[in-house]
């Protein structure tokens, strides 16, 4: 079982409107609602790949109830979310049917109390120590009330339980988390630059490893992935430029890396899978989902090459 | 007890954002959530005036549950909403903190099944015939699945129970409802013009009476109310132009008319109350609420004059 942690889960709403015009009134023509937050998205892709996944983090209020009801209908997903008194946040994507452009509105999320955080830590440590747990992903932003060093704590608990742990977050939670020596971090170009101060991917990736991460997999948008690991360095690139909606492409890459890790695949195969899943997500008509046919087609054609950067 | 009917209830969300820029991502700084739909708003104002109110209509899903939980905390309100399988719609007002302007996004609402509509009719007829029921307000749009002649049916049932009934809706449901001879209709200028084809308020108001309404109270924005009733015709005007947010001003006017009716006040006093409540709602900082001090202050100064229009 793979465990994904989403401390700031969300009920993701999508509204379709004929055209978004600020300061006017709109009739929404189509409403979709689904469980969200980065770790939940990763779990959904892992489950689609055939893995059993347990989802933890927080959920509360009527939005939390809606999220859990929908999770319960998804195959291979186990809900281990910890209840909070506050209501789970909503995120709203308003899609302009005329242009296809999206306007995003994200609620901040409920404030987590110290007692709720302590209850989560208890539950997380049990899940991490469970003999069936093969890998852990820690994903996304922290809700108000959770200490900024939260991910460092969760990484140390995973390492104590001897379970490989991947971190995908940004800002100060990423900085603190990297120092706790996670097995993998997966920053995008902006997150990597914010962490290291360098906009040069190879230099920044090396720097991120020096800060404590055993392996760094940088997602570089259409340029694919750059990985520096204890086993070597690689670049993995999609065979062609894929057009579409990049929402969720990073989460699909995380799912590719984790599923490959759990299956014991060597790094080049994990990276190929992550790039193909990511590109198949960009190409899919529904944001955050991936098209299995596109995935299979791309998987065989991802170019993985050695990357042995000069030392700084 | 006054009964208000809201067939298309809503969970009203308000998001405050620093500035709304289409096709970008926004962090919502403040989220407020409250029960909505026109009849629910009317009920809230009636309760604030000290009246016991029963709220009926439909509610369903997690949004319906959130709506009912919040209604339960309001004093003097009784929840008689009928459950539906579909989820109650949300309405979202995005307030741009920089300009104060509002962008409105309204979900369509759940489709009501024939069995759910029949269950509502049963419950409504019992409530209408209840000896404590002093007045009924039928408010707002119809959700998908409810027959377009719904209000005509509800008006006939109220009249059979000898309970005065007010109708506040628009379009074809208004046209059909007026023909069923409600005691009062309260169209705004646009609704009146759509019903009668005339943009001249006195002519249109007379025409609306000829179509079946016993009394017509037209709300003319900053110009106040124009009423033609079996007891006479009046114009009621606020003492000064009030600046603010007109959301809910029409619902407050309906509450003023109904409360005056339930208390047996003569028409000029009902109209003064409706105008003062409406203006106090425009002046209030929170959309749809009214400021009691402003209300008391304005109430004494509303000018009510005879309006005896020349016959057409």
Residue B312 confidence (pLDDT): 44
B70 — contact with chain A (CB < 8 Å)? no
A170 — contact with chain B (CB < 8 Å)? no
Residue A312 confidence (pLDDT): 44
B32 — contact with chain A (CB < 8 Å)? no
User: Is B56 inside any structural domain?
Assistant: yes
> pLDDT for B211-255, tens place per residue?
999 999 999 988 999 999 999 999 999 998 888 878 889 999 999
User: Is A47 inside any structural domain?
Assistant: yes
User: Is A299 inside any structural domain?
Assistant: yes
Cβ–Cβ < 8 Å for A134, A101: no
User: Is B173 inside any structural domain?
Assistant: yes
Residue B309 confidence (pLDDT): 58
d(CA B264, CA B231): 14
Average pLDDT, chain A: 94
User: Is B95 inside any structural domain?
Assistant: no
> B232: which strand partners?
B229
Provide mean pLDDT across the span A203-223: 95
d(CA B3, CA B80): 10
Q: How confident is the model at residue A100 (pLDDT cuts 50, 70, 90)?
A: confident
A17 — contact with chain B (CB < 8 Å)? yes
Q: A-chain residues within 8 Å CB-CB of B96?
A: 22-23
Residue A224 confidence (pLDDT): 95
Q: B-chain residues within 8 Å CB-CB of A22?
A: 20, 22, 96, 101, 103
The number of domains in chain B is 1
How many whole angstroms from its chain centre is CA B178? 16
> pLDDT for B120-142, tens place per residue?
999 999 999 999 999 999 999 99
Cβ–Cβ < 8 Å for B233, B221: no
User: Is B104 inside any structural domain?
Assistant: no
Q: How confident is the model at residue A309 (pLDDT cuts 50, 70, 90)?
A: low
Residue B289 confidence (pLDDT): 84
User: Is A234 inside any structural domain?
Assistant: yes
| Alpha-carbon distances of A233 from A200, A229, A302, A304, rounded to whole Å | 16, 6, 16, 10
Domain ranges, residue A160: 2-14+36-90+112-306
B31, B62, B92 ranked by CB distance to A65: nearest:
B62
Residue B237 confidence (pLDDT): 96
> pLDDT for A157-208, tens place per residue?
999 999 999 999 999 999 999 999 999 999 999 999 999 999 999 999 999 9
What's A275's domain CATH number? 3.40.1190.20
Q: A-chain residues within 8 Å CB-CB of B17?
A: 105
Given a cut of 50, the residues of chain B with pLDDT beneath it are: 310, 312
Can you give chain A as a three-state secondary structure string? CEEEEECCCEEEEEEEECCCCCCCEEECCEEEEEEECHHHHHHHHHHHCCCCEEEEEEECHHHHHHHHHHHCCCCCEEECCEECCCCCEEEEEEEECCCCCEEEEECCCCCCCHHHHHHHHHHHHHHHHCCCCCEEEEECCCCCCCCCCHHHHHHHHHHHCCCCEEEECCHHHHHHHHHCCCCEECCEHHHHHHHHCCCCHHHHHHHHHHCCCCEEEEECHHHCEEEEECCEEEEEECCCCCCCCCCCHHHHHHHHHHHHHHCCCCHHHHHHHHHHHHHHHHHCCCCCCCCHHHHHHHHCCCEEEECCCCCC
Provide mean pLDDT across the span A250-258: 97
Residue B242 confidence (pLDDT): 84
Q: A-chain residues within 8 Å CB-CB of B27?
A: 106, 108
Q: Which residues of B are catalytic?
A: 251
Residue B291 confidence (pLDDT): 87
User: Is B23 inside any structural domain?
Assistant: no
A22 — contact with chain B (CB < 8 Å)? yes
> pLDDT for A30-85, tens place per residue?
999 999 999 999 999 999 999 999 999 999 999 999 999 999 999 999 999 999 99
Strand (E) or helix (H) holding B44? helix B38-48
């Amino acid at each position: 079982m793979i465990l994904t942690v989403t401390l700031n889960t969300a009920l993701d709403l999508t509204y379709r409107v004929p055209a978004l015009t600020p300061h006017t009134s709109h009739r929404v023509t189509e409403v979709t609602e689904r469980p969200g937050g980065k770790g939940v998205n990763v779990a959904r892709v892992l489950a689609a790949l055939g893995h059993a996944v347990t989802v933890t983090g927080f959920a509360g209020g009527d939005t939390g109830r809606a999220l859990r009801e929908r999770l319960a209908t998804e195959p291979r997903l186990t809900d281990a979310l910890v209840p909070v008194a506050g209501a789970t946040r909503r995120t709203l994507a308003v899609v302009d049917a005329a242009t296809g452009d999206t306007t995003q509105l994200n609620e901040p999320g409920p404030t987590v109390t110290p007692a709720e955080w302590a209850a989560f830590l208890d539950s997380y440590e049990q899940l991490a120590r469970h003999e069936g747990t093969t890998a852990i992903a820690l994903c996304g932003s922290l809700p108000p009330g959770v200490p900024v060093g939260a991910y460092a704590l969760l990484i140390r608990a995973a390492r104590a339980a001897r379970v490989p742990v991947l971190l995908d977050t940004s800002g100060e939670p990423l900085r603190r988390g990297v120092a706790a020596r996670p097995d993998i971090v997966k920053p995008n170009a902006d997150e990597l630059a914010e962490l290291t101060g360098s906009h040069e991917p190879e230099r920044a990736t090396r720097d991120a490893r020096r800060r404590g991460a055993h392996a760094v997999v940088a997602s570089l948008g259409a340029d694919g992935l750059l990985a520096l690991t204890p086993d070597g360095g690689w670049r993995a690139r999609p065979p062609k430029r894929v057009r579409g909606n990049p929402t969720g492409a990073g989460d699909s890459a995380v799912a590719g890396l984790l599923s490959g890790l759990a299956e014991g695949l060597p790094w080049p195969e994990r990276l190929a899978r992550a790039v193909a899943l990511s590109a198949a997500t960009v190409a899919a008509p529904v944001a955050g989902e991936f098209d299995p046919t596109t995935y299979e087609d791309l998987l065989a054609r991802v170019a993985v090459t050695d990357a042995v950067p000069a030392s700084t």
